[in-house]
């Protein structure tokens, strides 16, 4: 049985509708991931979405590979969508299914900066149609216990943009695309005499100060935080399998729910 919509004929897809399938809507990003990793991190989201669809009986829609990542514009090779463009595309993606009565949708998001715009969009869709659309922000839902099991005592040092979980998952799914020989240390920069705290801002006397920083304001090699040398293929396998299993469990629950009725607990 096919589980990727892109592989189906429209007749095959129509035949699946009798089973009230759950549709995964994968979202990713094309952005730098440090000097050692491919910029197309959407490849990871797409692959995991297909694995989860196969395990759960869901159908994975084609991935939208570009996300909202304004702070990466200073690095060549990225493709960033304006906020208005992103929300319009996501609305159109969901509407393509809702207009045919396909209402069990799940957003499968692999780029954290998409999250606020996803929230805005699904709220508007709910107001307009009455349908709730949940979102799985896949790198955010990894529990602390999983990090410990996957990377042991190095977990906190490994985590971050340019580090894990993406580097380990790349080592598991696409090891041939990595360039570990390009990894180099990059001292964190200051902004207006203050220590930077990622691209979200800086700190002053221990307090967070929000300000618009680009990735090149923070680091010269694209590694914002985390140590990619600590990544392992085994940790990547562990993380991937957890995400596939978790998503399959959620799909089974969502399939039993009425997305128009918040009081419907489904099979819970």
Element (H, E) at 92: helix 83-98
Residue 173 makes CB contacts below 8 A (sequence gap 6+) with 43, 44, 47, 236, 240
CA dist list (Å): 175 to 26, 161, 231: 22, 18, 12
Q: Quick one: pLDDT at residue 266?
A: 76
pLDDT tens-digit readout, 198-224: 999 999 999 999 999 999 999 999 999
For the structural domain made of 5-143+240-255, what CATH number should be given? 3.40.50.10310
pLDDT tens-digit readout, 44-84: 999 999 999 999 999 999 999 999 999 999 999 999 999 99
Please name which of 79, 49, 85, 48 lies closest in space to residue 66, comparing C-alpha atoms.
Answer: 79
Percent of the chain with pLDDT over 90: 95
What's the chain's length in residues?
Answer: 268
Question: pLDDT under 70 in the chain at which residues?
Answer: 267-268
Please name which of 145, 182, 183, 167 lies closest in space to residue 233, comparing C-alpha atoms.
Answer: 167
CA distance 153 to 243: 21
């Amino acid at each position: 049985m096919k589980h990727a919509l892109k592989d189906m004929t429209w007749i095959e897809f129509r035949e699946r509708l009798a089973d009230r399938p759950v549709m995964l809507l994968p979202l990713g990003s094309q952005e730098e991931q440090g000097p050692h990793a491919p910029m197309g991190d959407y490849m990871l989201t797409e692959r995991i979405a297909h694995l989860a669809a196969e395990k759960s009986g869901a159908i994975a829609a084609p991935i939208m590979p570009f996300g909202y990542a304004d702070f990466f514009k200073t690095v060549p090779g990225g493709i960033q969508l304006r906020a208005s463009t992103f929300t319009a595309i996501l609305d159109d993606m969901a509407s393509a299914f809702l207009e045919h009565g396909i209402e069990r949708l799940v957003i499968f998001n692999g780029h954290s900066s998409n999250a606020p715009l996803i929230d805005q969009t699904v709220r508007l869709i709910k107001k307009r149609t009455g349908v709730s659309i949940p979102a799985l922000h896949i790198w955010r839902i990894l529990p602390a216990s999983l990090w410990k099991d996957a990377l042991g005592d190095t977990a906190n040092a490994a985590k971050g943009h340019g580090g894990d979980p993406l580097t380990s998952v790349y080592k598991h799914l696409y090891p041939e695309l990595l360039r570990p020989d390009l990894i180099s240390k990059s001292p964190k920069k200051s902004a207006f005499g203050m220590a930077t705290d990622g691209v979200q801002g800086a700190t002053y006397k221990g307090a967070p100060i929000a300000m618009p920083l680009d990735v090149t304001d923070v680091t010269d090699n694209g590694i914002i935080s985390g140590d990619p040398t600590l990544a392992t293929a085994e940790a990547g396998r562990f993380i991937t399998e957890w995400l596939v299993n978790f998503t399959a469990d959620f799909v089974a629950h969502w399939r039993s729910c009425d997305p128009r009725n918040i009081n419907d607990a489904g099979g819970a």
